[in-house]
Structure 1
Amino acid sequence: MYVVIFRATVRQLDETYTQMAARMRELALTEFGCLAFHAVTEGTQEVALSYWPDEAAIRAWKSHPEHLLAQQQGRERWYTSYSVEVAQVRRAYHGGEAAT
């Protein structure tokens, strides 16, 4: 399993961003094999974690036309800076009912 860690400094989020983010989450989870997708924005910092079965799924997701448009709009409208890290999960464990 792999995790993609997206971090960004927010310029300004708007209704178009909200709609685009929902669509990107839906696409990732339903069409590209994304196992889980979590995002949080606090102040001007955004962090999104998405979990994937393999690197091929991540590459397919990255090059999808709608995702390419979202990336472009992110650079031009919503973020002042961003970073992406891809890491392999070597071990994962959970405890309690709240851990999902």
Structure 2
Amino acid sequence: MYAVIFKAKINSLDKQYTQMAKQMRDLAISHYGCTDFIATTQDDNEIAVSYWPDLESIKKWKQDFSHLKAQKLGAEKWYKHYEVEVVEILRHYQSLA
């Protein structure tokens, strides 16, 4: 299993951003095998973590036309700076409570 960690400095978020973020989350889960997608903001920082079964799914997601459009808008409008890390999950555990 893999995780994609997206970290950004926010420039300005608007209604179009909110709609696009929901669309991208839904698309990743329904069409590309993403198993979970969690995002949060604090002050001018955003972090999103998505979980994927394999690198091929991540590659296909990165190349999706709608996702490319969202990336372009993010770079031009919504974010001052962003970075992406793709990591392999070596271990996972959780509390049962």
Same fold (TM over 0.5): yes
CA deviations over 1:10-43 (Å, ceiling 9, x no partner): 0000000000000000000111000100000111
Counterpart mapping for 1:29-44 below 5 A = 29-44=29-44
Counterpart mapping for 1:1-100 below 5 A = 1-97=1-97
The TM-score with structure 1 as length reference comes to 0.96
Task: Please give the secondary structure, in 1, of the residue aligned with 2:66.
Answer: helix
Mind listing any 5+ residue stretches in structure 1 that lack a counterpart? Answer: none
Q: Please state how far the C-alpha of 1:96 moved relative to its aligned partner.
A: 3.0
Mind listing any 5+ residue stretches in structure 2 that lack a counterpart? Answer: none
Task: Please give the secondary structure, in 2, of the residue aligned with 1:70.
Answer: helix
Aligned length: 97
Moved over 6 A (4+): none
Partners of 2:61 and 2:5 lie apart in 1 by: 14
Partners of 1:20 and 1:8 lie apart in 2 by: 16
